[in-house]
Chains A and B, each alone.
Chain A
Amino acid sequence: MTATATGAPGPGDGFPAEVPLLRVSDLQVELITEAGVVRAVDGVSFEIRAGETVTIIGESGSGKSTTAMGLLRLLPDDLAVLSGHALVQGRDTVADPRAAAEVRGRAVSLIPQDPMTALSPVHTIGRQLLETVRLRRGDLDRSAARDRAVSLLTQVRIADPEQQLRRYPHQLSGGMLQRVLIAMALACEPALLIADEPTSALDVTVQAGILDLLLELQEQTGAGILMITHDLGVARLVSDRIHVMRGGRFVESGEAEQIVGDPAEEYTRALLRSVPALGPWDGAGTAAATAPEGDR
Chain B
Amino acid sequence: MNAATAPATPILQVDGLVVEYAVPAGVFRAVDGVGFAVERGATLAIVGESGCGKSTIARSLVRLITPTRGSILLDGHDIARMPERRLRPLRPRIQMVFQDPYGSLDPHLSAAEIVAEPLRQRGVRSKAERATEAAGLIDRVGLPAGALDRRPPEFSGGQRQRIGIARALASRPDVLVLDEATSALDVSVQAQVLALLREIQRESGLTYLFISHNLGVVREISDDVLVMNRGRIVERGPTARVLAAPEHPYTRALRAAALDPSAIEGRKPRAVLAAALAPTTEGAAP
Q: Which of A97-105, A138-146, A281-289 contacts B (4 or more CB under 8 A)?
A: A281-289
Cα distance A277–B261 in the bound complex, in angstroms: 10
Map CB proximity to A onto B258-282 as digits: 1 under 8 Å, 0 otherwise: 1111111111101001101101011
Q: Is the CB of A278 within 8 A of B261?
A: no
| Shortest Cβ distance from B50 into A: residue | A175
Our pick among B162, B216, B282 for the contact of A278 (Cβ within 8 Å) is: B216
Q: Is A188 engaged at the interface, CB distance under 8 Å to the other chain?
A: no
| Residues on A with beta carbons closer than 8 Å to the beta carbon of B256 | 283, 286-287
Cα distance A284–B286 in the bound complex, in angstroms: 11
Q: A287-B263, A290-B262 are in contact. Are A282 and B244 (CB under 8 A)?
A: yes
Q: A163-B25, A279-B240 are in contact. Are A211 and B150 (CB under 8 A)?
A: no
Q: Is the CB of A174 within 8 A of B50?
A: yes
Our pick among A115, A116, A202, A295 for the contact of B213 (Cβ within 8 Å) is: A202
Q: Is the CB of B184 within 8 A of A203?
A: no
* Whole-angstrom distance between the Cβ of B164 and the nearest chain A Cβ: 13
Q: Is B95 engaged at the interface, CB distance under 8 Å to the other chain?
A: no
Q: Is the CB of A174 within 8 A of B55?
A: yes
Q: Is the CB of A286 within 8 A of B284?
A: yes
Q: Is the CB of B245 within 8 A of A282?
A: yes
| Residues on A with beta carbons closer than 8 Å to the beta carbon of B25 | 163, 166
| Residues on A with beta carbons closer than 8 Å to the beta carbon of B90 | none
Cα distance A240–B267 in the bound complex, in angstroms: 7
Our pick among A60, A209, A281 for the contact of B277 (Cβ within 8 Å) is: A209
* Whole-angstrom distance between the Cβ of B111 and the nearest chain A Cβ: 12
Q: Is B48 engaged at the interface, CB distance under 8 Å to the other chain?
A: yes
Cα distance A176–B69 in the bound complex, in angstroms: 25
Count how many chain A residues have C-beta atoms less than 8 Å from C-beta atoms of the other chain: 80
Q: Is B103 engaged at the interface, CB distance under 8 Å to the other chain?
A: yes
Q: Is A234 engaged at the interface, CB distance under 8 Å to the other chain?
A: yes
Q: Is the CB of B187 within 8 A of A275?
A: yes
Q: Is A197 engaged at the interface, CB distance under 8 Å to the other chain?
A: yes
Q: Which of B4-12, B72-80, B151-159 contacts A (4 or more CB under 8 A)?
A: B151-159
Cα distance A31–B266 in the bound complex, in angstroms: 37
Q: Is the CB of A208 within 8 A of B180?
A: no
Q: Is the CB of A166 within 8 A of B277?
A: no
Q: Is B24 engaged at the interface, CB distance under 8 Å to the other chain?
A: yes
Our pick among A203, A257, A274, A286 for the contact of B190 (Cβ within 8 Å) is: A274
Cα distance A256–B188 in the bound complex, in angstroms: 19
Q: Is the CB of B213 within 8 A of A204?
A: yes
| Residues on A with beta carbons closer than 8 Å to the beta carbon of B261 | 232-233, 235-236, 260, 272, 275
Map CB proximity to B onto A102-133 as digits: 1 under 8 Å, 0 otherwise: 00000000000111100000000000000000
Q: Is the CB of A166 within 8 A of B183?
A: no
Residue among A175, A197, A270, A276 with the highest chain B CB neighbour number at 10 A: A276
Q: Is the CB of A60 within 8 A of B21?
A: no
| Residues on A with beta carbons closer than 8 Å to the beta carbon of B89 | none
A positions within 8 Å CB-CB of B:
4, 31, 33-35, 53, 57-61, 64-66, 113-116, 159, 163, 166-167, 171-176, 179, 197, 200-209, 211-212, 215-216, 219, 230-240, 256-257, 260, 270-272, 274-284, 286-288, 290-291, 295-296
A208-B277, A287-B256, A287-B263 provided; 19 other pairs, C-beta below 8 A?
A171-B21, A173-B51, A175-B213, A200-B184, A202-B50, A203-B49, A204-B213, A205-B257, A207-B259, A209-B277, A211-B273, A233-B260, A236-B259, A256-B266, A271-B186, A277-B216, A278-B219, A278-B243, A284-B282
B positions within 8 Å CB-CB of A:
21, 23-25, 47-51, 54-55, 99-100, 102-103, 146, 149-150, 154-159, 162, 180, 183-191, 194, 213-217, 219-220, 240, 243-246, 250, 252-268, 270, 273-274, 276-277, 279, 281-285
* Sample of 22 A–B contacts (CB below 8 Å): A33-B154, A57-B186, A59-B186, A59-B188, A60-B157, A166-B23, A200-B184, A206-B49, A208-B257, A212-B277, A215-B270, A231-B259, A272-B187, A276-B219, A278-B243, A278-B258, A279-B244, A281-B255, A284-B282, A286-B285, A287-B263, A296-B220
